[in-house]
Amino acid sequence: MENEEKTEVTEVNETEKEATAGRRRLLRAAACIVGIAVVIYLGGAAFFGSHYLPRTVINGHDLSAKTAEQAEKLFAQDVSGYGLVLTGIKGDTEEIKGAEISMKYEPDSDAQEILKDQNAFLWPAALFQSDRRNVEIRVSYDEEALKSRIESLKAVTGEQTPATSAYPRFDGGQFIVEPEQYGTAIDKDMLEKKIAEALTEFDDTLDLESEECYALPAYTSESAEVQQACDIMNEYSSARIVYPMSEEVVVDASVISGWLTVDDKMQVSIDEDAVRLWLEEFGNKYDTVGTTRSFITPAGKEATVKGGTYGWSINEDAEFDVIMDAVENGKTLEREPEYYIGGTAAVHTMPDWGDMYVDVDLSEQHMWYVVDGEIALETDVVTGEPIPERITPEGTYSVLEKLRNTVLVGSTNPATGKPSYETPVNYWMRVTWTGIGLHDATWQAAFGGNLNQTPGIGSHGCINMPLDQASALYEILEIGTPVVIHY
């Protein structure tokens, strides 16, 4: 029994020794592994003190475990093959090559600083996290060569279409903002600036439109100045003036819009010359003084008459002030235009003397006084002798004054220094301020026919009437009554 117990104790001791030896071997292996890991870690830390950490990407280059010198070489290679591609507004492209402007790499990039600033002891973590950077690549180039190359660009030498600013446009009813149009004209200063920036930043492309290298319109549809100009022009165009001529003449937005202008500073003004031109055309159409009129005489004859002083005559200067005030203040008016003194007629339709007038037919040597379209008086007459200094002037006139028992005085005779005649009359009805009128002529033995063509019988230009007819006419004739003298 004692031998068996001793044997069991011995076996237990051997087992414990083996277990202890195993543990020691494990500890030695673990220590060895830790040691190796420490060596690797420290070796890596030492290595990455002068090399980029794993998964470091700078400017598209994988610089893992590469030195700064190796990075500089890669950057230098980039510069040697560099080209800046310019994209135009129409999608066309052209390239400025680095070699054309003697571009060189300057070894002074921020890549050196990245290497200095990285924590080499964190290199294991870098295995699982990418570090992507872009740094400025410093280059030099021949500035004069660049200027020359820019001057030769198609964007510069090609056809230049200037940009058009947004502006107020009349659409037939009101002024609206017409959008701006972008052209192809290059802003040279901006182009040079943007190309220089692209080269400095080592960009591959430059979009000329997005970088605003084209000359921009001064105003866009979003510009407050354009909308304000529209508002002012619409306010001006809200004026309305109605002239009741032979038909209504309406000055509204359709007319006023043509008078409004806006300058390159979006300042609105009324084109005064355009207003005066419209008034001139208005006057030419509706002024009747001196115009040729066609009509039917009281005797039923078709006739024409031209010249004279009677008729419509618009005072364009006075009416200009009225129109300007109405437009500037958006007024609505219905009015007869301003006329010169005496520049009015009975009606706007032709003939404009209406249905009360004196008709003197020089061919028939007869006159009629028409009232309300009916003949109130008629008589034969004797008019001026048909020689230049005595002929009765054709035209449409009006009665300017009426006098009783006055003396008609002729022009001064140079030979005697006295009037060529001094003739007393009972009834004087002036037609022109130059001495033509209707009056009684008691010295005439007869009237009518062709007596006026006989020297000494034809008048000095006046319309001679029988005494009784002159008296009757004088009583019913009103000052201002039209007098139509025609053949």
pLDDT (tens digit per residue) in 285-328: 999 999 999 999 999 999 999 999 999 999 999 999 999 999 99
Say if residue 2's pLDDT is above 70.
no
Within the chain, what is the greatest distance between any pair of CA atoms? 203
Helix (H, G, I), strand (E, B) or coil at 332: strand
Phi, psi of 433 (to 5 degrees): -75, -5
Full DSSP string of 118-150 = S-GGGHHHHTTS-EEE--PPPEE--HHHHHHHH
* pLDDT band for position 451 (cuts 50, 70, 90): very high
Q: Which of 463, 295, 302, 297 is nearest to 393 (CA)?
A: 463
The amino acid sitting at 58 is I
pLDDT (tens digit per residue) in 417-447: 899 899 999 999 999 999 999 999 999 999 9
| Pair of tokens at residue 256 | 């006023």
Task: Give the C-alpha separation, 78 to 60, whole Å.
Answer: 11
Q: Of 12-16, 138-142, 252-256, 417-421, where does mean pLDDT reach its minimum? A: 12-16
pTM: 0.69
